[in-house]
Amino acid sequence: MKNRFVTLILLVTVGASLSPAAAKIAVVTKVKGLVEMERGTSGFNVLKPGVILEDGDRLRTGSNGFTAVIYIDDKSLLKIKEDTEIVISGKRDVNSISKEANISHGTLRASVGKQKKGEFVVKSPTSVASVKGTVFDFISDPDGGDQIIGIEGIVALTNSLTGATIDITEGLTGFSDLDGSLNSAPTDP
């Protein structure tokens, strides 16, 4: 009888550890205006502060919407501005979360603590921004391409079509166009 009980406890513990629970990666700290979230294929629901985000959650803001999201491992912050759609992803390991934000269109500001290479990436259909610890704005326009505005630190901007990469630093704006061109210029205040 005792052996059966131990076996049952062991099976329940192993089964629970193998269940496909989504990783909890971030928390919503602020919501203004219309902001919605979709988890899986459940459809969009109104987002409220305090919601814990999981790997793969989709957020979208309306014309008056804004939300702030903080990653739970290192307090990196995303400020998602109006008319933006983004998928928040993250893979957890023991000490950190490898973060990815996939923006289909819109604007976000990221304030990111020091990261290992490839641990914080912002992707759009046109570009990939690999963050090395910085503050920057990412503006994605599906019809015109992307802009990265360097506020602090360094962001490696890669055009997805050509694979070309440039570093964007404080005071520079990077442009990644649909035709594959990639360049930078001083930021116009």
Task: Give the burial string for 2-17 (b: 16+ CB within 10 Å, else e).
Answer: eeeeeeeeeeeeeeee
The neighbouring-strand residues paired with 103 are 86
pLDDT 10s digits, 78-89: 999 999 999 999
User: Which distant-in-sequence residues (6+ apart) come within 8 Å of 110 by Cβ?
Assistant: 76, 77, 78, 79, 101, 120, 122, 131, 134, 135, 136, 138
What's the token pair of residue 18? 């193998």
Separation of alpha carbons 18 and 138, rounded Å? 37
What residue has token string 């602090």? 152
Separation of alpha carbons 44 and 66, rounded Å? 16
Q: How confident is the model at residue 95 (pLDDT cuts 50, 70, 90)?
A: confident
Q: Are 60 and 27 in contact (CB under 8 A)?
A: no
Helix (H/G/I), strand (E/B), else coil: 60: strand
List the single range of 2-11, 143-152, 176-185 with lowest mean pLDDT: 2-11
pLDDT 10s digits, 14-26: 333 333 456 899 9
Phi/psi for 8 (5° steps) reads: -65, -45
H or E element in which residue 63 lies: none
- The structure's pTM equals 0.81
Q: Which amino acid is at 87?
A: V
